[in-house]
Chain A
């Protein structure tokens, strides 16, 4: 006996429901807000760990008086600026609040600058991972 499964809660239909919509939404959301890409895909545990790691790393970097790059004067500054942009809204909030403007000339502040840049790079990796989950490239 043949019948239509349209609208039924089959595995295929459930998968189709999670793969409809804008494909790049988890990528963009994950970039803007750390972990948001995974939250959109209902990967709560992964999203929470990613969010906590990146926000803590960025916050510790700021607490260490690390520099948030605002422009590009030489090649190292350009690379740092690109890394910082990976933080998405955290970067914007940091700039608006005037954090990380004056770099203190101590070793800890240099660690802080690296923490902020690496937090941005890790956030980009996490956003790409969310995109791969969304497209089915990763399970």
Chain B
């Protein structure tokens, strides 16, 4: 059984979703790459920010 950590699961999810988003939502390869990276950073960044937010709320 594959048991990734929460963060590893977030990174894997962001990687695959960003790849498909980049390819399907933009027209040229350069814009696809930029949009894919943008989505990846947003996915992972928002997970980190929300995690810290919940950490401080729980204290």
Known interface pairs A60-B12, A64-B3, A65-B1. Does A122 touch B17 (Cβ–Cβ under 8 Å)? yes
User: Are B20 and A125 closer than 8 Å at their CB atoms?
Assistant: yes
Query: Interface digits, A47-83 against B, CB 8 Å rule (1 contact, 0 not)?
Result: 0011001101100100111000000000000000000
Q: Does A2 belong to the interface (CB within 8 Å)?
A: no
In the bound complex, residues from chain B placing their C-beta under 8 Å from that of A128 are 24
Interface pair A53/B20, CB less than 8 Å apart: yes
Contact size class for B? 10 to 19
Most buried by B among A111, A119, A126, A128: A111
Please tell me if B13 contacts chain A, counting CB pairs below 8 Å.
yes
- Residues of A with C-beta under 8 A to B20: 50, 53-54, 122, 125-126
Determine if B3 and A108 form an interchain contact, defined as CB atoms under 8 angstroms apart: yes
Of all chain B residues, the one with the shortest Cβ separation from A46 is B23
Asked if A57 and B16 sit within 8 Å, CB to CB, the answer is: yes
What is the interface of chain A mostly: helix, strand, loop, or mixed?
Answer: helix
* Contact of A91 with B by CB under 8 A: no
Whether A49 lies near B12 (C-beta < 8 A) is: no
15 contacts across the A-B interface (CB closer than 8 A): A49-B19, A49-B23, A53-B16, A53-B17, A54-B20, A57-B13, A63-B2, A64-B2, A64-B3, A64-B4, A104-B1, A108-B3, A111-B9, A128-B24, A139-B27
- 9 additional A-B residue pairs with CB within 8 Å, beyond A46-B23, A64-B1: A50-B19, A53-B16, A57-B12, A57-B13, A111-B6, A114-B13, A118-B13, A122-B20, A125-B21
